[in-house]
Amino acid sequence: MALLAMIAFLSQRYNWEASKGISYLSVVITLPTILFGNFAGVLVDRWDKRRVLIFCDLMRACLVLTIPLFVLEIGNLFLVYFVAFFIFLFGLFFNTARLAVIPTLVAPRRLLAANSFISFIGRVATFLGVLFGGVIVDLTFWRRIGIRYSWSAGFYIDSLTYWVSVFSLLYIFRHHLRLRLPKKENILTQGKDLVEIVGTNLKKLLINLREGYSLIFSLPPVSFTFASTIALVLFGAGIFVLYIPIIQNLPPPSVRIGGEAGLGLGTRGVGFLGAIGSIGLILSSLSYGILGHKIGKRIIVILSLFSLGMIAILSSLTHSPLLPFILAFLGGLFLSPLFIAQDTILQENVPKEVRGRIFSTREWLLHLFFGIFAFVLGQLTTFFRKRDLLLVVGIIVSLSALLLLFLKRENGRHSPSL
């Protein structure tokens, strides 16, 4: 929320294109996973996970504080992207180490309960973050206590939460987790190990990708799932890069001459829309788990994808400040069944010995295509209106769903097993 509000602020001050700024941010968010996602687990397994957790949050606490400095004192947005890259990179290693250290903190019989509780807390935190984060970075209260720009308060609060995490981890590991530390190695040895790990895993990655791609194209259900994933990523990139600035921008007649009119809801409007969408996600997750077996999984994917395309089309056409909230709720309703159905299709049709690499390949491609689509859409805003581009995205996603429906019927005619 703070980053989005910061980009909106800079766009108004320097007459920049907000969609381009968000598109670059999208690339920064996805790049750490694309470059290091396949190496993070191997490296974390070789390091003391407690130190990884504490070091990553300590670095994030310090790096987040530098962002307002770069913006307000230097005015260079690309330095912000450089810092943000390392923040998300440390987040990648933190999440990997966190998942690996949980079994050492709880008994095996409580592991499922612990993971469920962590997942629940994560959903609640996300809901509260998008709901109140947008409000916080738009509050005028901060000026009364000496913070000139309200969006910068978001970074100060974010840094504070990382410091809370650092001290909490220190307390937990001191009182509840006593492990013998691994033997220290000098920097030169660690550097050689790092080069060896990257080289070895890069070869394995290329082999796994080649095997994964051959399986993707040889199994129609898997091809169907990956094609729907790419269409879904296009929808997500369109909403993130094109629709968020529309929500934030001033409505007519307040919009500047030559600018594009928005809804005037600000960053808090983005937060409210995200919260309403999260409610739709939760409700559809519960209902689809109960009723989903009555409808074919590929039909669910096609219907959900087509509906999301229509939501993008309606979002591009409407100027009402109320309709986006209804569309956000509907978007959440359609997203959860789509994700669940995709995962189930892969689990049912992919042999268990290659299931892991298929899911990891999908995750890698998801981040890769999101970065590509976001970057391209951001550049296209130089030549086309954001609403027109969002309309095209919606049409492409809806047509993709219809194409998948046609291919499903053709596969059903030629293969009785399908």
CATH number for the domain spanning 281: value is 1.20.1250.20
> Is 229 in the same domain as 176?
no
Spatial CA neighbour of 130 closest among 281, 2, 322, 263: 2
> Is 235 in the same domain as 169?
no
Residue 64 lies in a domain: yes
* CA–CA separation, 328 and 276 (whole Å): 6
> Is 173 in the same domain as 247?
no
> Is 158 in the same domain as 231?
no
How many other CB atoms are found less than 10 A from the CB of residue 368? 15
> Is 302 in the same domain as 169?
no
Domain boundary among 132, 151, 181: 181
Residue 351 lies in a domain: yes
Residue 136 lies in a domain: yes
> Is 155 in the same domain as 231?
no
Residue 323 lies in a domain: yes
Own/partner pairs, 37-42, CB within 8 angstroms, 24+ separation = 37/92, 37/360, 37/363, 37/364, 37/367, 38/201, 38/205, 38/360, 38/364, 39/197, 39/198, 39/201, 40/92, 40/93, 40/96, 41/96, 41/100, 42/197, 42/201
> Is 307 in the same domain as 176?
no
> Is 227 in the same domain as 78?
no
How many other CB atoms are found less than 10 A from the CB of residue 385? 15
Domain boundary among 161, 181, 201: 181
What does pTM read for this prediction?
A: 0.77
- With a CB cutoff of 8 Å and minimum separation 6, the contacts of 307 are 330, 334
> Is 256 in the same domain as 351?
yes
> Is 412 in the same domain as 267?
yes
> Is 139 in the same domain as 260?
no
Per-residue pLDDT of the chain (418 residues; tens, 9 = 90+): 888 888 888 887 777 788 888 899 999 989 998 888 767 777 787 788 888 999 999 999 999 998 888 777 777 788 889 999 999 999 988 988 887 777 777 787 877 677 767 767 777 888 888 888 888 888 888 888 888 888 888 899 999 999 999 999 998 888 766 544 444 444 444 555 556 656 666 666 666 666 666 777 778 888 899 899 999 999 999 999 999 888 887 665 544 444 566 777 888 888 888 889 888 888 887 787 677 667 788 899 999 999 999 999 999 998 888 889 999 999 988 988 888 888 888 878 887 766 766 776 787 888 889 999 999 999 999 889 999 999 999 999 999 999 998 876 656 554 444 3
* CA–CA separation, 151 and 254 (whole Å): 21
CATH of the domain at 9: 1.20.1250
Please give the single-letter amino acid code of residue 151: W
Instruction: At 192, list the tokens.
Output: 């050689």
Domain count, the chain: 2
Domain boundary among 159, 181, 203: 181
Range of the domain at 36: 1-181
